[in-house]
Amino acid sequence: MRRTDLAALGVQLPVMPTVILGALPGAPDWAARLARIGVDVVSSGAAEDTPETFAAAAAAVPHRPCKARAGDPDALAAAGARIIEAAAAPAGAYALTPDDDVLVPGPGTPDEVAAEVLAAAREGEPAALWVAAGPGLDALAEDEAEQRIHVLVEGTHRARMWLVKEQFDRE
């Protein structure tokens, strides 16, 4: 992740931000639910966002960065999207692409997710790592998708706390 690119767009993210890739099951009204679960970068959950689905998601959770998915990148950027899951993004937006350092941990327990996140963070630059759920969550029942997201968020939180502990132990 190019933190300077995101910071220049006014987007502030924690180390190893959690994000959902791909669509989510059901209606594109996931933003508030994702914020409640603790996802760092929320989204509508739509398979392909429109300016309207993005605006609704951003309005539902105005205190979190909101990612748009695919759709018309120019229209999404004009609607205020600063992070767009697409191959390319127009000026004024950040394209979240497969070239980014994205970790999609396997399903498991929060401790198993934490172990995967820690391993990835130690191999590279933790500040550059995105921790993602999906794609493919749209094929699950809503409650199952939500449970997987809970595990991702909890596992990432545990990994962050372990990295902080290691840092303080060294000092």
pTM of the predicted structure, to 2 decimals: 0.93
Confidence of residue 149 (pLDDT cuts 50, 70, 90): very high
pLDDT for 1 beyond 60: no
Please give the radius of gyration of the chain, using alpha carbons only, rounded to the nearest integer. Answer: 15
pLDDT of amino acid 28: 96
pLDDT in tens, 75-122: 999 999 999 999 999 999 999 997 899 999 998 999 999 999 999 999
Q: Which residues form the domain of 128?
A: 3-170
DSSP states of 25-72 as a string? SSSS--HHHHHHHT-SBEE---SS--HHHHHHHHHH-TTS-EEEESS-
Amino acid (one-letter) located at 65:
P
User: Strand runs (DSSP E) across 60-133, as ranges?
Assistant: 66-69, 83-85, 94-96, 101-103, 129-133
The total number of structural domains in the chain stands at 1
Confidence of residue 3 (pLDDT cuts 50, 70, 90): low
- Any idea what the CATH number is for the domain that residue 148 is in? 3.20.20.210
pLDDT in tens, 31-73: 999 999 999 999 999 999 999 999 999 999 999 999 999 889 9
